[in-house]
Amino acid sequence: MSAGWGDGTRSVRAGLPDAVPGQPFLPGPVFAAPYHLDPWRGPAAAPDGYGRPDNPTRRLLEAAIGELEGGDCRVFASGQAAITGLLLTVLRPGDTVLLPADGYFPVRAFATDTLERIGVRVGLVPTAGPYPSFEGVRLVLLETPANPGLDVADVPALAAAAHAAGALLAVDNTTATPLGQRPLDLGADVVVASGTKALTGHSDLLLGYVATRDDALRDAVTGWRTTTGGVPGAFDCWLAHRSLATVDLRLARQAANAEALAGLLAGRPDVAGLRWPGRPADPAYPVASAQMRRMPGVLSFDLGDADRVARFLDASRLVAAATSFGGLHTTADRRAQWGDDTAPGFVRLSCGIEDPADLVADVAAALDAATG
């Protein structure tokens, strides 16, 4: 892929095979469990032998995401499968891992339910810091911007500190996507992310991935995935690759909608705790504006209590009540209903691709109705 191409060109071309007359731009999904084997040479004769480790549709998607992230990619059945696969590949009993205290709640639950039981020491650190010494730490995992609170970590500074102490630095790039930031370029050793969300953006599949420039780490993650079997299906891989072509367009509209809504919400006395790292008044803005190439289409705020959130969602015509984020339709999620340790009225709002003026008018009217 040409290094000089812009995001839109890179996204629409990523991972496509060479042109063959009479063939589509993106070949359709290959559905196979076993493949024909050479009766004399066996699996050595062809790249595909069995569907768990081998699938050409999956390899094309991995090539595409790898081009966008700037490293070798391995895709998983979900973001949670990717991150737990990375943690269990890297960590051994007696190791220490530092995780974001304000990051994706299921990762912290996995750490306390599983990692600690096998003898891994788990430390929790707020995304915005302060960070402890990394001496004796095997892996530092950042989630930046953090989900759902949207704090931002200084990746180059923390990568330098981790490497000086002999630790690996991993970055969860779900919220930003590789068009928002490329953590491997910023010094991270490995990227992990959910492709379920803004990367594919159509709310119709589950996907995760790990990307790295470290060949040994890539091979270890690949071996873990083959052994444990957490692979995505061929049709999900094809859908994801198809969806990558529009990621530049989708992210641009989502970010514009987030900026417009942040402007509305900042001026309302009935909304508290507004966070969006693209807003100059946001605590994360200095680091985010220096580190990120574009801002996410996700913001968060607090409406005070669960009933007011429900009234807001009932009154809105354009904001659907749903979890996950990054899709074409604007959604809002009261995170406390999932057991997340957030305030009862805390809302994570994911902007879709509706017209900004329509979305602002709808949210304003719904907040008015919720206030009574």
Domain residue limits, the chain: 7-244, 248-371
pLDDT at 172: 98
Residue found by looking up tokens 């690996």 in the block: 168
Q: Extract the tokens encoding 107.
A: 């990762």
pLDDT at 4: 87
Residue found by looking up tokens 């979305």 in the block: 359
CA atoms within 13 A on the CB side of 300: 24
- How far apart, in Å, are the Cα atoms of 323 and each of 56, 117, 271, 329, 361? 31, 29, 21, 12, 23
pTM of the predicted structure, to 2 decimals: 0.96
From the list 192, 210, 207, 193, the residue with the least C-alpha distance to 241 is: 207
pLDDT at 272: 98
The C-alpha atoms of residue 341 and residue 324 are separated, in whole angstroms, by 16
The C-alpha atoms of residue 37 and residue 236 are separated, in whole angstroms, by 25
- How far apart, in Å, are the Cα atoms of 194 and each of 41, 147, 173, 354? 38, 12, 8, 23
Mean pLDDT, each 10-residue run in order, the chain (372 residues): 87 95 95 95 94 97 98 98 98 98 94 96 97 98 97 98 98 98 98 98 97 98 97 98 98 98 97 98 98 98 98 98 97 93 96 98 98 84
| 248-371 topology per CATH | Aspartate Aminotransferase, domain 1 (3.90.1150)
Bond from prior residue into 148 cis (ω within 30 degrees of 0): yes
Residue found by looking up tokens 């594919």 in the block: 200
Please classify residue 90 by burial: count the beta carbons closer than 10 Å to its beta carbon, then call 0-12 exposed, 13-18 middle and 19+ buried. buried
CB 333 within 8 A of CB 347: yes
CB 214 within 8 A of CB 189: yes
Bond from prior residue into 344 cis (ω within 30 degrees of 0): no
pLDDT at 339: 86
pLDDT at 3: 73
7-244 CATH: 3.40.640.10
Alpha helices in the chain (DSSP H): 7-13, 56-69, 79-90, 105-110, 155-164, 215-228, 234-244, 247-266, 285-291, 306-315, 356-371
Give the residues across from 38 on adjacent strands: 42
Q: What is the DSSP letter of 45?
A: G
CB 144 within 8 A of CB 169: no
